[in-house]
Amino acid sequence: RKEVEQDPGPFNVPEGATVAFNCTYSNSASQSFFWYRQDCRKEPKLLMSVYSSGNEDGRFTAQLNRASQYISLLIRDSKLSDSATYLCVVPRGRNTGFQKLVFGTGTRLLVSP
Amino acid sequence: GAVVSQHPSWVICKSGTSVKIECRSLDFQATTMFWYRQFPKQSLMLMATSNEGSKATYEQGVEKDKFLINHASLTLSTLTVTSAHPEDSSFYICSAPRGDRVYNEQFFGPGTRLTVL
């Protein structure tokens, strides 16, 4: 299994739709997980952190299934401004100190009017 | 919130020249910074870990003599691409973890787009 693997994109959805992205990871010792958003030719920006079973922030919900080593990101009521590439990020190695991050290849979302 | 800056934001150079990229943490001290590279349509790949006061550690396959890293202070790390060639053209991004944040949340610089002619 790859260190971090994501759904291939692009996902084309209309405004208002609900869309879900999946991500699997290989490091069973990982305790924290992240979803980053990256706009074209820009740096990644942290969208959500996931430390326990899940996390919700407005229209965004991230869920974690440790047994299956699987993380998901759900976006409800999609907006045009949600169009971006969503990166699943998992720390490599021990969960102490400053951790190296492993990035998935990203899933591209295109929200249309 | 925390801010990380990079300079320059873009650079075009001739093959064989060296290019220096600066990464600064603006409102916090960073004893560790990370350097990434991103080729078109690919994800970020970690190149090296920059450590203040000691040598950088490089990921497998990254040439330390080609990508020189200097972490001169608690707020500045520099990456020098020596004898750059067209295949070095890429988007270079640094990040700095903030030790007082839960799980050391990392903040990314805006990136430097390098084009080698």
Residuewise pLDDT in 10s, chain B (117 residues): 568 999 999 999 999 999 999 999 998 888 899 999 999 888 899 999 998 888 999 999 999 999 999 998 999 999 999 999 999 999 999 999 887 665 667 889 999 999 999
Q: What is the mean pLDDT of residues A27-44?
A: 88
Residue A94 has pLDDT above 70, yes or no: no
User: What integer pLDDT is reported at residue A7 of this predicted model?
Assistant: 85
Cα B40 to Cα A14, B1, B29, B97: the distances in Å are: 26, 29, 31, 25
The whole-chain average pLDDT of chain A stands at 89
User: What integer pLDDT is reported at residue B87 of this predicted model?
Assistant: 95
Please name the residues in contact with A60: beta carbons below 8 A apart, sequence gap of 6 or more.
Answer: A35, A47, A48, A73, A74, A75, A76
User: What integer pLDDT is reported at residue B13 of this predicted model?
Assistant: 96
Instruction: Pick the more confident residue, A30 or B102.
Output: A30
Q: Cβ–Cβ of A49/B102 closer than 8 Å? A: yes
Task: Please name the amino acid found at residue B98.
Answer: R
Residue A44 has pLDDT above 60, yes or no: yes
pLDDT band at residue A21 under the 50/70/90 scheme: very high
User: What integer pLDDT is reported at residue A93 of this predicted model?
Assistant: 63
And the tokens for A51? 């430390």
Q: Cβ–Cβ of A44/B105 closer than 8 Å? A: no
CB < 8 Å from A in window 5-64 of B: 32, 34, 42-46, 49
And the tokens for A112? 């249309």
Tell me the shortest Cα–Cα distance from B47 to chain A, in angstroms: 10
User: What integer pLDDT is reported at residue B60 of this predicted model?
Assistant: 93
Task: Please name the amino acid found at residue B55.
Answer: K
Q: What is the mean pLDDT of residues A79-95?
A: 87
And the tokens for B87? 């295949």
Instruction: Name the nearest CA neighbour of A59 among A79, A43, A33.
Output: A79
User: What integer pLDDT is reported at residue A95 of this predicted model?
Assistant: 52
Q: How far apart are CA B92 and CA B110, in angstroms?
A: 9
Q: What is the mean pLDDT of residues A84-99?
A: 78
Pick A100's closest partner by Cβ from B34, B43, B113.
B34
And the tokens for A24? 């699997």
Tell me the shortest Cα–Cα distance from A43 to chain B, in angstroms: 5
CA B7 to chain CA mean position, Å: 10
Buried b (16+ CB within 10 A) or exposed e, A9-36: eebebeeeeebebebbbebeebebbbbb
In the numeric block, the tokens 């590439």 are attached to: A85
User: What integer pLDDT is reported at residue A28 of this predicted model?
Assistant: 83
